[in-house]
């Protein structure tokens, strides 16, 4: 099982695109996305200094474009990727790259959204002096309690011993004077308190634009930042991308889902290193590959050959599959059990875990071809539950 991941803001460094731009095809493709985003990505990825590319409105388009163009270097024929990648995920803004790579949205739509996202978040950051601090180590429950005491949000939960606190500069100063026991604090060089209520104005702006975006169901399952659920419906993917601007990133739950899926290899798109580093600590025994420079492409393809087994989603189905969003026990509703046809949006049941119950709906509806699980069965993330024949399809 192969999972491809795309990094978030902070992964960029001065000059990281220099070796990639030596390839004329890469440079041309990046130029196209630069035109769409109305920003000179080649300049910022090659000659701009650290302070310049730290700016939200520059860093975010730069990261998304890099991941998308590099994916075409890794998979010159995208259909090859659809048949071999088990799932994709992106940390924070990287989720836009993941959605475009899975073909839920186009690369051009992703670039317009990330341009507007970055600019809107920069404007929101200017309203109140805010920031973020990484809290490394310490007891998880105690760390969360201390953050709550200071009014801070755990904006990124990246796995064991890695939580990022976000809030006003006064709140972060109070945390520095009263840190959790055995925890180390590292102030982050970011423009504001991302993934908190301070970003609410940016959510409204991007949400308005998103209503005009045409989406498709992803050809590869997408693991959501919000809760680690496996997504297979395009409109839900876009809704969550918008909502995560002001909501915490639960990368820890994404890692849990990767483990539940049986991941054996994780490949991180450039500028790589952050997410594979986290995976090495959190998912023992899972191989990782950080794609940083183009001279690694042959080795990266060999890594794909070793771990790629095929997507959970058929790329050209004449029927639709409803899959489980998470691990748990599936319970079928009486209404769904008694019918041979499901209306679009009908709830077919729910997946119950120790944390909660997640409703499962037949987003598109259709004729029931076969149930693939029974009431009370244990299910895994992405496991097919029912196969439907879409209404109006011969």
Active site residue 92: yes
Q: Which listed residue (44, 150, 195, 229) is catalytic? A: 195
Catalytic residue among 34, 48, 71, 92: 92
The tokens of 11 are what? 């992964």
d(CA 279, CA 251): 10
CA-CA distance, 363 to 351, in Å (whole number)?
Answer: 16
Whole-angstrom CA distances from 321 to 24, 43, 225, 313 are 41, 44, 22, 8
Per DSSP, helices labelled H in the chain are 18-21, 24-37, 41-46, 50-54, 56-74, 78-82, 94-101, 107-125, 140-149, 169-177, 200-210, 234-243, 251-261, 274-282, 297-307, 334-338
* Contact present, 263 and 121 (Cβ < 8 Å): no
Tell me whether strands 130-137 and 162-168 are parallel, antiparallel or unpaired. antiparallel
d(CA 304, CA 308): 5
Sign of CA dihedral 307, 308, 313, 314: negative
For 184, the enclosing helix (H) or strand (E) is strand 183-187
Helix, coil or strand: residue 331: strand
- Distance (Å, whole) CA 312 – CA 29: 29
The reply to whether 195 belongs to the active site is yes
Distance CA 202, CA 125 (A): 10
Would you list the DSSP string of 52-119? HHHSHHHHHHHHHHHHHHHHHHH-SSHHHHHTT--EEEESTTHHHHHHHHTTSS-HHHHHHHHHHHHH
Q: Is the dihedral of CA 369, 348, 385, 237 positive or negative?
A: positive
Give the residue numbers marked as catalytic. Answer: 92, 195
């Amino acid at each position: 099982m192969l999972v491809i991941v795309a990094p978030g803001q902070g992964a960029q460094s001065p000059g990281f695109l220099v070796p990639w731009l030596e390839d004329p095809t890469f440079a041309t493709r990046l130029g196209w996305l630069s035109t769409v985003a109305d920003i000179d990505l080649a300049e910022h990825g090659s000659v701009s200094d650290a302070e310049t590319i730290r700016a939200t409105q520059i860093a975010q388009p730069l990261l998304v474009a890099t991941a998308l163009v590099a994916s075409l270097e890794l998979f010159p024929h995208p259909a090859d990727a659809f048949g071999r990648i088990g799932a994709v995920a992106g940390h924070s803004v990287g989720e836009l790259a993941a959605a475009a790579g899975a073909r839920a949205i186009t690369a051009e739509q992703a670039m317009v959204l990330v341009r507007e996202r970055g600019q809107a978040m920069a404007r929101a950051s200017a309203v109140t002096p805010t920031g973020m601090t990484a809290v490394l180590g310490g007891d998880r429950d105690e760390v969360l309690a201390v953050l709550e005491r200071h009014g801070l949000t755990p904006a990124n939960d990246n796995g064991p011993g890695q939580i990022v606190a976000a809030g006003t500069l006064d709140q972060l100063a109070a945390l520095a004077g009263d840190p959790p026991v055995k925890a180390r604090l590292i102030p982050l060089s970011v423009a504001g308190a991302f993934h908190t209520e301070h970003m609410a104005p940016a959510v409204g702006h991007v949400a308005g634009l998103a209503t005009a975006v045409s989406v498709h169901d992803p050809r590869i399952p997408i693991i959501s930042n919000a809760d680690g659920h496996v997504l297979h419906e395009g409109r839900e993917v876009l809704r969550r991308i918008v909502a995560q601007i002001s909501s915490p990133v639960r990368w820890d739950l994404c890692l849990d889902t990767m483990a539940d899926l049986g991941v054996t290899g994780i490949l991180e798109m450039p500028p790589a290193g952050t997410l594979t580093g986290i995976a090495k600590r959190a998912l023992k025994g899972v191989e990782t590959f950080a794609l940083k420079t183009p001279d690694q492409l042959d080795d990266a393809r060999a890594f794909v050959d070793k771990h790629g087994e095929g997507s959970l989603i058929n790329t050209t189905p004449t029927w639709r599959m409803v899959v489980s969003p998470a691990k748990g026990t599936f319970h079928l509703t009486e209404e769904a059990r008694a019918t041979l046809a499901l209306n679009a949006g009908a709830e077919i049941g729910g997946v119950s875990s120790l944390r909660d119950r997640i409703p499962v709906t037949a987003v598109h509806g259709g004729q029931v071809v076969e149930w693939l699980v029974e009431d009370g069965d244990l299910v895994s993330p992405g496991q097919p539950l029912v196969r439907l024949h879409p209404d109006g399809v011969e």
